């Protein structure tokens, strides 16, 4: 196990770093695989794995929902991405509302109390804790009502512009989140947001469209065309089978929690073995193996289909 970890860590350091992003907590060389972690008691395996992340990853992703449960002493030493938690808008007890031209999520708890997630709250937290923050976005499921899909697109764009205009931190790298229900809608959003000086961009909503590889590839290529050479991140689609396609289409980074989910089921990405009723320590080992495999996939599938200028991406 240690041999795998050490080998992949050493390989990672030999990567061509002509394309990178400078953050307060360190350099992020591209391309890179970003493991997702959580804080709190919901996923105890994440607590056991987290100390190993700096050895195998250049950056870590935390959802806004779980990041709020982070003890300051638990913050990883490597750069940390914090997304907006916009995925919660898909929950059965949640709804998206337009409030003065901005989108907010209203979530009703089991006790009947409403909790609101708004762009200001998300940005404030990101400026305090994140190296890279993503604007509050609203995923659009396939087959969604067209009028509701359009509203989510409009509010996602509005939230991104608001965050750019109202950010105060000089160290936070602000990425505009892009959502859509078709290649055309994704392209429209990217074209509009690319006019503004965001530090990078991120594509969401691709997981439920993963059955259509051609569509996913077309969306990523379209976004890359619209945003130029600024960093492009892909939310959630970080299974190793997707890494070559996404990187070749123009993505700089991908995130996923699947390295942990597979470990929970006793599965390793390095081979086809599966452990039956694995011990918690077996799951830790499998998760670390899976993460090292994903890192190796990134290293062996460099971006090749678009120009990569040698520069710091700011």
> What are 114-151's pLDDT values in tens digits?
889 999 999 999 999 999 999 999 999 999 999 999 99
270 secondary structure, DSSP code? S
Alpha-helical segments (H) within 139-228: 146-166, 183-193, 213-227
**8 A C-beta contact, residue 305 and residue 21:** no
Q: 152-171 burial, b if ≥16 CB within 10 A, otherwise e?
A: bbebbbbbbbbbbeebeeee
25 secondary structure, DSSP code? T
For residues 11 and 86, which has the higher predicted lDDT (pLDDT)? Answer: 86
Entry pTM: 0.89
- pLDDT-based confidence at residue 82 (cuts at 50, 70, 90): very high
What is the tens place of the pLDDT at every residue in 178-225? 999 999 999 999 999 999 999 999 999 999 999 999 999 999 999 999
Given 3-state DSSP classes, what are the helix, strand and coil percentages for the chain, each rounded to the nearest 5?
45, 20, 35
What local confidence, expressed as pLDDT, does residue 111 receive?
83
CA distance 184 to 60: 31
What local confidence, expressed as pLDDT, does residue 304 receive?
47
Tell me what the pLDDT averaged over the chain comes to. 89
What is the tens place of the pLDDT at every residue in 17-29? 578 999 999 999 9
Residue 232 has pLDDT above 70, yes or no: yes
Note the CATH number of domain 2-9+33-305: 3.20.20.105
For residues 15 and 243, which has the higher predicted lDDT (pLDDT)? Answer: 243
Residues 6+ apart with CB under 8 A from 152: 89, 96, 103, 138, 139, 140, 144, 179
> Any idea of the CA torsion for 202, 296, 63, 251, to the nearest 10 degrees?
0
Report CA-CA distances (Å) from 128 to 72, 125, 166, 177: 11, 5, 14, 19
Q: Where are the domains of the chain?
A: 2-9+33-305
Lowest average pLDDT, out of 14-23, 30-39, 161-170, goes to 14-23
- pLDDT-based confidence at residue 296 (cuts at 50, 70, 90): confident
**8 A C-beta contact, residue 231 and residue 252:** yes
pLDDT more than 70, % of the chain? 89
> Within the chain, what is the greatest distance between any pair of CA atoms?
55
């Amino acid at each position: 196990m240690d041999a795998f970890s050490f080998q992949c860590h050493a390989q990672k350091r030999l990567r061509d770093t002509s394309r990178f992003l400078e953050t307060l907590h360190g350099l992020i060389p591209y391309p890179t695989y970003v493991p997702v972690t959580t804080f709190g008691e919901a996923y105890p395996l994440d607590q056991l794995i987290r100390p190993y992340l700096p050895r195998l990853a250049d950056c870590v992703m935390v959802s806004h929902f779980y990041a709020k449960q982070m003890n300051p002493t638990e913050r990883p030493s490597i750069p940390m991405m914090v997304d907006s938690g916009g995925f919660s808008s898909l929950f059965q007890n949640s709804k998206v509302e337009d409030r003065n031209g901005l989108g907010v999520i209203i979530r009703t708890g089991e006790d009947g109390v409403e909790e609101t997630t708004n762009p200001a709250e998300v940005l404030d937290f990101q400026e305090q804790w994140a190296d890279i923050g993503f604007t509050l976005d609203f995923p659009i499921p396939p087959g969604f009502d067209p009028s509701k899909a359009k509203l989510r697109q409009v509010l996602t764009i509005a939230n991104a512009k608001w965050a750019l205009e109202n950010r105060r931190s000089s160290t936070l790298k602000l990425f505009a989140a892009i959502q859509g229900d078709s290649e055309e809608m994704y392209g429209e959003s990217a074209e509009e947001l690319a006019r503004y000086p965001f530090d990078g961009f991120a594509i969401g909503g691709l997981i439920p469209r993963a059955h259509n590889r051609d569509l996913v590839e077309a969306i990523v290529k379209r976004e890359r065309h619209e945003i130029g050479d600024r960093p492009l991140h892909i939310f959630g689609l970080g299974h190793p089978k997707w890494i070559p396609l996404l990187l070749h289409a123009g993505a700089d980074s991908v995130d996923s929690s699947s390295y942990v989910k597979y470990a929970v089921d006793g599965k390793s990405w390095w081979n086809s073995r599966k452990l039956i009723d694995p011990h918690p320590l077996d799951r830790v080992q499998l998760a670390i193996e899976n993460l090292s495999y994903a890192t190796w996939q990134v290293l062996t599938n460099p971006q090749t289909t678009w120009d990569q200028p040698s520069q710091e991406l700011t």
